[in-house]
């Protein structure tokens, strides 16, 4: 069967050079470059057994380019390019543009006035036509209406309220069999009720603050495989009982920049998304 394609970027110029999220505070210049390279290589090697990986070229002065999840969001041949909220990352936009253009995507973006940070803030629910999309920190709520209309997909807005969980993928992970793994305190009450309306109690996997803080939710999932930085034995057992196999890939150096396993990957295509019904 065809392998899932993803994008990664070697950490040749990775580091913490500025502070744009709470994890980066006090970490400027403190990344162990050799360890970061080893951790990234291990993640790459582990993922490569299950997916096809396309690497984009690392760029000097773009220390956060390794977090490819923030490059954009794809569906079919379409790709919505990110527009970063903060100037520190805006130079990355043209790199993602060039790469996705070379890969022949139909590209679109929201212009400079509306920020959208790609898969970091937008995740598809498996086997449905539903997109969970965060706002409140990095991405604007306004982009969601556009995504909904142009992709004919239901978009559920989720408001992030804890600065430590500033992107949706830091605190929420839809899984391949329909479950959602999430840290409830990262969301406001209305967003939690939206999740509860759409995910049955049996499919809700609530994560403790301790697991959330080790970026357990920042996972890459393909079929029954889950790749993540760390997870408590209790959470591993819960997921094992549901048939998931957990692959621990430590990415402590990347956490100094506020990113885990998911942030280091971006899906170039979505599998198991229900097609839009033909318009009337
Ligand atoms: N330092 C980066 C930032 O603050 C980390 C991005 C992590 N990416 C993610 N998808 N959560 O933008």
The DSSP 8-state label assigned to residue 262 in this structure reads G
Closest atom of ligand 1 to 70 CA is: 10
CA atoms within 13 A on the CB side of 27: 22
Cα 25 to ligand 1 centre (Å): 13
Ligand 1 pocket mutation, candidates 138, 162, 216, 263, criterion most atoms within 8 A of CB: 263
* Number of residues that this document lists for the chain: 280
Average pLDDT estimate for 130-150: 97
Whether residue 179 has its Cβ less than 6 Å from ligand 1: no
Instruction: Say if the ipTM goes beyond 0.95.
Output: yes
Q: Give the containing element (helix H, strand E) for 184.
A: none
Residue 271 reports pLDDT greater than 50: yes
Q: What is the dihedral of CA 102, 67, 63, 28, to 10 degrees?
A: 170
The Cα 64–Cα 120 span in angstroms is 13
pLDDT digits (tens, 9 = 90+) for 3-13: 999 999 999 99
Q: Give the containing element (helix H, strand E) for 78.
A: strand 78-81
Q: What is the dihedral of CA 24, 27, 33, 38, to 10 degrees?
A: -60
Q: Give catalytic residue positions.
A: 167, 263
Whether residue 16 has its Cβ less than 6 Å from ligand 1: no
Average pLDDT estimate for 214-241: 98
Whether residue 139 has its Cβ less than 6 Å from ligand 1: no
The Cα 156–Cα 161 span in angstroms is 16
Cα 43 to ligand 1 centre (Å): 17
Average pLDDT estimate for 73-77: 97
Helix (H, G, I), strand (E, B) or coil at 90: helix
Cα 111 to ligand 1 centre (Å): 20
Is the separation of the CB atoms in 194 and 134 below 8 Å?
A: no
């Amino acid at each position: 069967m065809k392998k899932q394609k993803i994008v990664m970027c070697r950490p040749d110029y990775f580091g913490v050079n500025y502070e744009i999220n709470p994890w980066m505070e006090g970490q400027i210049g403190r990344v162990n470059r050799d360890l970061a390279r080893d951790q990234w290589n291990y993640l790459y090697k582990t993922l490569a057994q299950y997916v096809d990986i396309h690497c984009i070229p690392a760029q000097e002065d773009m220390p956060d380019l390794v977090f490819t999840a923030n490059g954009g969001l794809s569906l079919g041949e379409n790709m919505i390019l990110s527009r970063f909220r903060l100037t520190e990352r805006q130079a990355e936009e043209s790199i993602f543009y060039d790469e996705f253009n070379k890969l022949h995507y139909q590209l679109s973006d929201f212009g400079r006035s509306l920020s959208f940070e790609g898969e970091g803030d937008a995740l598809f629910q498996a086997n449905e036509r539903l997109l969970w999309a965060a706002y409140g920190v990095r991405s604007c709520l306004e982009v969601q209406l556009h995504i909904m209309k142009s992709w004919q997909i239901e978009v559920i807005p989720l408001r992030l309220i804890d600065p430590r969980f500033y992107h949706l993928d830091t605190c929420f992970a839809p899984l391949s069999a329909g479950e959602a793994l999430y840290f409830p305190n990262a969301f406001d009450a209305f967003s939690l009720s939206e999740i509860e309306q759409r995910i049955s109690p049996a499919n809700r996997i609530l994560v403790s603050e301790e697991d959330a803080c080790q970026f357990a939710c920042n996972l890459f999932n393909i079929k029954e495989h889950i790749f993540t930085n760390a997870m408590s034995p209790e959470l591993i057992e819960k997921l094992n009982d549901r048939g998931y196999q957990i692959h621990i890939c430590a990415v402590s150096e990347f956490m100094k920049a506020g990113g885990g396993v998911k942030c280091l990957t971006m899906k170039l295509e979505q599998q198991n998304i229900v097609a839009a019904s033909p318009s009337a």
